[in-house]
Amino acid sequence: MAEIKVPFHRAAITKAEEDAVLDVLRSGWLTTGRYALEFEKKFSQAVGSTEDNPIISLAVNSNTSGMILAMEACGVREGTAVITTPYTFVSTAACARHLNADVYFADVEKDTYSIDPDKIEEILKKDFDGEKRVRAIVPVHIAGNVCNMKRIMELAKQYSTPDRKIRVIEDAAHSFPSPTSLGYAGTIGDAGVFSFYVTKTITTAEGGMVCTRDSELARRMTVMRLHGMDRTTWDRYTSPRASWEYDIIAPGYKFNLPDVLAAIGSCQVDRAQLFYEQRKRIVEKYNEAFAKLDFIQLPPDGEGNAWHLYLMRIVPDKLTITREQFAKKMQEAGLGISVHFIPIFHFTYWRKLYPEFTAQAYPNAERQYQATISIPLFPDMTDEQAQLVIDTVKQIGEQNHA
């Protein structure tokens, strides 16, 4: 295996995070407590919470956990369905299956990775005329590039009925920080769910945050986050009321984020804008170089793009090698690369569950997949590392030009 000269990602960890973790360890309280509460408060402020229009943030142990909580609170369960994109990490759709719901997939737009609102409406029209099973639309802000949320929100409102409100749950795993004209990506819909996995724009090593402006959704998710209990652990051990006095009001989950991880997140959110500016500097360097190459297509870039990932797209007609071969040559040159994402219809479970779920049925998602390579992009990346990526891409393309 080639020596890694430029990693795909490296988390920006400083002494601040180290000291924060030590503070938690020395406090004697390691699970969800005051550090998690502080992190939630900071995050709400960071995504645009105001006194007149507050955002409630709930720290969870993964984006997946947050998605399950949001879907459950929005009424997703057996006999219902959600609409999402096949171009996402599998957990987006798997969360609906954990709740025994079905998944309807809408292809992405022709020139972007974002779910196509016209395809969403096609599904809603069929559903509206039939069983009315759809309870949620789940757009995914791939690589931090925000979906057409205005149209998606309009569709949810248009096809809701008095007895069936269609909710919008944003999979915002890639989109912090991402301001848009309507608010913050992840807080425009009924709920938005962020990820703090180690490769994300900020990290807690593992973790996530689910945000909402709807107090009823927040109450349900708070209860379901910790065993369906009517009191949090922090309240049980810090309030005058006896710690063993509590009620179980629903069959909840164990999705809370411990203070050890929340302390890291609290430090990271303070530097989120700095991280964004550092990534954007590398993006601009990439764009300037790749715009001159006829075998590379620049990534889509819409309003509020958080630039979590740089999705470099090859132009197949200009090359004598495939995306797989191009990616392998990059790895052999010592570059850490990935592919975001393998569309869900390529996976055995989903093909067996929905036989009609094929690449042919979702041509835009398949086309993007066959052309895309995710290249290194992280805050502490040096100009020398970025230049090595550029030079390698240029060399491979020129040596294998059609």
| DSSP code of residue 140 | B
Pair 206, 65: CB distance under 8 Å: no
Helices 117-129 and 149-159 meet at what angle, rounded to 10? 10
103 three-state secondary structure: strand
Backbone phi, psi, residue 105, to 5°: -105, 135
Name the catalytic one among 42, 126, 165, 200.
200
> CA-to-CA distance for 323 and 335, rounded, in angstroms?
15
The CA distance from 135 to 142, in Å, is: 22
Phi first, then psi, for residue 84 (nearest 5°) are -145, -170
Burial 340-359 (b: 16+ CB within 10 A, else e): bbebbbbeeebeeebeebee
Q: 145 near 114, Cβ under 8 Å?
A: yes
Annotated active-site residue 329? The verdict is no
Closest CA to 134 of 145, 121, 144, 147: 121
Q: Which residue has the tokens 């995914």?
A: 140
Which string of DSSP letters, residue by residue, matches 235-251? HHHHSSS-TT---B-S-
Active site residues per annotation: 200
